[in-house]
Amino acid sequence: MDGGETVTAGAPQGRRNWDVSALIAALIGLLALCVSAYTAYIQRQQVRAQVWPYLEPGISGSKREIVLVNKGVGPAIVKSVRIYVDGKAQRDWSAVFSALGMKFEHAPPFSTVFGVVISAGDRIDQVLFQSVEDFNAYAHQADRVEKMYCYCSSLSECWIYDDRVTDPSRITQPVDQCPARSGDDFLDNVAAQAATPSRDDD
């Protein structure tokens, strides 16, 4: 062109440098966000492990008791209880013993577990039989009795223990939430004694 003017094609050098700097800043920000999210995930997993409950029922011949033990490392909040005899849901311990054909001169005392919190390493003595004979009468038929407990951690994560499940590895399973109230619920909190948790090593 006349006048000696020269036109350079493409974006100015300063604009290209700004684009590269912006891209690097965006990548650094994204990396920081990913690291923060992963750190939060790891921290939550650690907290979950620290409050994980694990309920397991059993019977104690030495103490003539039906027990429920928390073998986990965090408190278990019992949300639902169902107990079956020969596959049929029972409403309370009196119904359980009646279905088993058991009669007592003195009814065994029992404690409620429905709605209670069982601390890590604690247990609830659900039923205390008054005599060895009474305990043996139950123990000899214990395989007819099946129990289901739904419980949650302090983080509102829930599990179901159900010994109707034949696969031992699946007897306790995580669930989104505990079952809604129904006619199958075991109401051991009616006319029951106050639950008295005790250390599992007592």
pLDDT tens, per residue, the chain with 202 residues: 555 555 555 555 556 666 777 777 778 877 877 777 766 666 665 555 577 999 999 999 889 999 999 999 999 999 999 999 999 999 999 999 999 999 988 889 988 898 899 999 999 999 999 999 999 999 999 999 999 999 999 999 999 999 999 898 999 999 999 999 898 999 887 654 444 455 555 4
pTM flag (> 0.85): no
Q: How far apart are CA 189 and CA 97, in angstroms?
A: 17
